[in-house]
Amino acid sequence: MGKPVLLYVIGLLSFLASETDATAPTDFLPFGNGDTLNPVSDDGSSPAITLTQPITYFGNTYNIVFVNNNGQLTFTAPLYEYNPMVKSERDIIAPLWTDLDNTQGGNISYRVFTSSDVLAQATAAVNQNFPSIPFVATSLFVATWVNVPYFDDEGVVTVQVALVYNLQRTFILFNYASTPATTGNWMAGFHSMILHRSFTIPVNAVSELASSSNININGQWSFHVDGAQTLPANFLEPDGKILNPAADNGSSGAIILQQPFKYFGRTYSQIFVSNNGYLSFTDPLSGNTLTLNSGKDIIAPLWTHLDNTYGGSISYSKSASSNVLAQITAAVKQYFPNIPFAATSVFVATWVGVPYYSGAGLVSFQVVLAYNVHRSFVLTYYGDVAQTGQQWQAGYSTVDSVSSFISPKNTVSELASRSNINVTGCWAYQVDGSPNLPANFLPFGNGEIVTPRSDNASSEAIVLQQPFKYFGRTLNQTYVNNNGLLTFTKPPTDCIPLLNSGRDVIAPLWTHFDNRRGGTISYREDTSSAVLAQVTAAVKQYFPNIAFAASSAFVVTWDSVPYYNGAGVATFQVVLVSSVQRSFILLNYGNISEPKQTWVAGYGTVDSVNSFTIEVSNASALSYSSNTNVNGRSSFQVDGTPNLPSNFLPSGDGEVVNPTSDDGSSGAIFLQQPFKYFGRTYNQIFLNSNGFLTFTGPLSAYNSSLVSGRDIIAPLWTQLDSRHGGTISYINTASSKVLAQVNTVVKQNFPNIPFAATSAFVATWDSVPYYNGGGVVSFQVVLVYNVHRSFILIYYGNVAQKGQPWQAGYSTVDSVSSFTTPTNSVSELSSSSNVNVTGFWALQVDGSPNLPANFLPFGNGEVVTPRLDNASSDAIVLQQPFKYFGRTLNQTYVNNNGLLTFTKPPTDCIPLLNSGRDVIAPLWTHFDNRQGGTISYREDTSSAVLAQVTAAVKQYFPNAAFTALSAFVVTWDSVPYYNGAGVRSKHCFSVN
């Protein structure tokens, strides 16, 4: 019998549910508050619900869904039928399809979720149920039937269905709570119209749904329903996939690549993805007749007649994400270990579960274009590839058919089990057509930029990260010209090579090139540690007497660039290698065809004084000529600066250049450690361009005066002008190599002062001109210090004679400790000394008396107490407990007022030994280290110190068997009394 005629009309109005039903189980996804209610209507449906993201259901893509009151979802139209027919001519998802009637009660509601928390909950459920499928939900649709009665009033049902999906993957979750038995027809499952896939939950009675499961959770079922096969683990799954249209013999439109793709000497900016399993570059191919000798550039992972109108998906993605680039770079390096490569772009096309046109089965495969401006690779991955009797080919072809390749397999299914690189189901090819760069070249790197493909063109002005010093001039930009040269002020306007043209030019091979016909010209400025180490090693090999560490490398490569007249191609490279003081160029030559046109190689300068031409009989000889005994490589020093004297500390990483200005100064430079200068302690310093250092502020004066009432260190105070050349630079360093070097110098010149440097500040004036000309000066000052001792080392190189005022030495606020170098002329600084080392002066400037001979010297790890009145250190945990009159003490406090305590620091400065506490007081009185001096401590377990204190104890207590295991040493060094009556040095140590 049919259902009775309805005697009422329900308005199709929907509204928001106000609260979640109290009887809903906790394992349901959220519903209720915020849901939209279905109309109250027997055999009714929701209106069309627009999804926030298209959903793929067994190969079909839908943008809308209908929630039908009788317990199912449809996609093309509402379904009013109450008798279940799973194998119908439509796509249906049915958590419980039966005759339900919400006119008798209950709620049917739905919601599109965008909350990250709920998406994360749904993602976790899918990941738990399908652990082998990588998945992150980006959309979630939930429909819930809560306490909805059967039409025949046999009870109420509570069920839920969730569509959990992203652009590639779709899953459905069924949740069952209340499903009482019914005498009516019912079913639960899903049906696919195109792929004819149906599934019915295999239970005998509807009441069993709430206790059944396919995921071991009662009342829950989960299914993978996008129709796509699970991708193999080696397939890439980049974000941003775009689906190809479903059409027989169809293709994508023109896809603009993120970066041009180099394919056997030709460069393409677009690509087409054909549904029939191949890529083309100039236009789509609509036919299904396949041939890899078609006179076209084609990449065919599997060219055959496929038909995605019957299912599957064909998608593509352009990616420059760091994760994908790192993954694909690693793959290329694994398959081509001898080719330097770093991917900067990736194009991925994927065919998943696409049927053959004949219907004989499905195929899944992927092709990846991995490339940068120089190198291009094709990686092809095969998943499930069904056997077919129809024609097929796999490989690639070129316009001239010279570089074509066809996979040598007998059957199509063998593609998934074979390889040309010993990785099952993976094939890899290099397809740029370029020879590999010679071994003497620097490899291509990240951030490579290609110059325009235009005759006689040039790059825009390239701002250098670090200025390049070129024969006394400091250059902040360069131009890379396609015709084989670098300029610095503007690009050249012609192709006629002329080194003596009144401009600064570096020309590895200046001739008329035409990169419109092929090849690549690219550049980058590289400060990576690997490249800097490589170029530093090269410079040191060719210039062993020049102390040098590169801080920048500007690399330009002409890779297989044709000559304008068509006579051949050339591959060469120029590298500008620099630090703030030194500049070198490396010229690397690969294959150089004879150009049969005018050419020159070398460099030139504005004044033509330093021009140089590489003398070879023909251009092709550049490939094996050299001035470094390395075929195809020449190297030149081009800074124009005389080499720094060997006793100067070399420039290093972190060198900072002072601003170029008359009477200028650095900003405040914060020292790594306070510097002690004649009893005063400074945390900052200023490097004044006119040849001196100050501590409290910059000083623009150029008339020297070492009795100016300031603390000043002046290696050479005179009027200098770095605007006209030279470099003024500084570095704060605590590198072990530099500290070892300056320690040795101090110990050599002050052998009676125990000292170990913990910081060094180096300032260098390198070939800086006098203000009004007349010569240049090179000198260096080094502040070498630790918490107690400070020294200055002054090195003089070439110092030209000059009639303008000058002074060298140092001064103090009170002028008491001022010192002026006793030389008659400024040029004598280079040959004078106070330590019998020509051109070198060494001075102690901390102002502290040397520790008495009976003191233990300062050591490593010395810690300074706070500079505060009546202050103390924090609690110091002893490495070894100290036994003190039967008590074992694990900590101590060093008090500025001349005592040690063990339980807490004292709160006053009044000395009282019988104060009811353990106290060791070498001199307990009121000190004030704010006015000067240093109080420091360390616990020392070095063998030298332990031997020294053990010997002392045995001398004073000969009858006590004793070997020291620890020495806690505290030193008050020249600390003033609070009342200003003087200073005291005292020493305290405990032996354990």
Contact (CB, 8 A) for 523 and 486:
no
Please say whether the beta carbons of 577 and 535 come within 8 A: yes
Cα 925 to the chain's mean position, in Å?
A: 56
- What's the Cα-to-Cα distance from 901 to each of 115, 383, 972, 978, rounded to whole Å? 61, 76, 16, 21
Instruction: Tell me: pLDDT of 633 over 70.
Output: yes
pLDDT the model gives residue 505: 94
Task: Give the C-alpha distances (Å, rounded to integers) separating 384 from 352, 425, 988.
Answer: 9, 10, 81
Position 990 scores a pLDDT of: 47
CA 181 to chain centre: 62
Give tens-digit pLDDT for 441-478: 887 766 788 888 789 999 999 999 989 999 888 999 99
Q: How confident is the model at residue 665 (pLDDT cuts 50, 70, 90)?
A: very high
Backbone angles phi, psi at 553, to 5 degrees: -135, 120
DSSP 854-895: TSPPP-TT-EEPPSSTT-BPPPEEEEEEEEETTEEEEEEEEE
The single-letter DSSP state of residue 563 is B
DSSP 289-305: ---S-SSS-EEEEEEE-
Cβ neighbours around 671 below 10 Å, total: 17
Kindly give the residue spans of alpha helices, DSSP state H, lying in 88-243.
Answer: 116-129
H helices within 233-321, ranges in order?
none
* pLDDT > 80? residue 557: yes
Q: Residue 732 to residues 90, 680, 766: CA-CA distances in angstroms? A: 76, 20, 17
Higher pLDDT among residues 199 and 741, named by residue: 741
pLDDT digits (tens, 9 = 90+) for 765-809: 988 888 877 778 899 999 999 888 899 999 998 888 888 899 999
First to last CA, the chain: 104
CA-CA distances (angstroms) from residue 867 to 557, 896, 982? 58, 8, 17
Strand partners, 143: 110, 161
Average pLDDT over residues 16-20: 39
| Dist CA 990 CA 464 (whole Å) | 58
Average pLDDT rounded to a whole number, residues 331-355: 85
- Looking at the predicted structure, is the pLDDT value of residue 706 above 90? no
Q: How does pLDDT run across 119-163, given as a tens digit for each residue?
A: 999 999 998 887 767 889 999 999 999 999 999 889 999 999 999
Q: CB-based contacts of 76: which residues, under 8 Å, 6+ apart?
A: 62, 90, 91
Highest averaged pLDDT of the listed ranges 290-294, 334-338, 735-739: 735-739
- Tell me which of 252-266, 696-710, 825-839 is least confident: 696-710
Highest mean pLDDT among 490-494, 570-574, 603-607: 570-574
pLDDT value of position 338 = 67
Q: What is the mean pLDDT of residues 863-892?
A: 92
The pLDDT, as a whole number, for residue 22 is 41
CA 792-793-797 angle, to 5 degrees, is: 145
- pLDDT surpassing 90 at residue 409: no
SS3 track for 747-765: HHHCCCCCCCCCEEEEEEE
At residue 90, the pLDDT reads: 87
- pLDDT at residue 197, rounded to an integer: 62
Residues 764/651, Cβ–Cβ less than 8 Å: yes
Residue 19 has a pLDDT of 39
* Cβ–Cβ < 8 Å for 155, 181: yes
| Residues written for the chain | 992
Q: ∠ CA(214), CA(219), CA(221), 5° rounding?
A: 35
The DSSP bridge partners found for residue 863 are 937
Confidence band, pLDDT 50/70/90 cuts, at residue 360: low
pTM for this prediction? 0.44
pLDDT confidence band for 862 (50 / 70 / 90)? confident
Contact call for residues 875 and 893 (beta carbons, < 8 A): yes
Judge whether residue 14 has pLDDT over 50. Answer: no
Q: What is the pLDDT of residue 899?
A: 93
User: Cα angle vertex 781, ends 777, 784, to 5°?
Assistant: 170
Name the nearest CA neighbour of 592 among 559, 564, 614: 559
How far is it, in rounded angstroms, from Cα 565 to Cα 511?
11
Average pLDDT, integer, range 475-503: 89
Q: What is the pLDDT of residue 198?
A: 67
When pLDDT is cut at 50, 70 and 90, the band that residue 9 belongs to is very low
Judged by DSSP in three states, 596 sits in coil
Please tell me whether residue 352 adopts helix, strand or coil conformation: strand
Cβ distance 485 to 492 under 8 Å?
yes
So what's the pLDDT on residue 63? 95
Contacts of 49 (CB under 8 A, 6+ apart): 64, 65, 66, 67, 110, 112, 141
Tokens, residue 338: 């001898």
pLDDT on residue 983 = 62
pLDDT at 925 (0 to 100): 93
> Can you name the residues that pair with 623 across neighbouring β-strands?
none
Q: What percent of the chain has pLDDT over 70?
A: 92
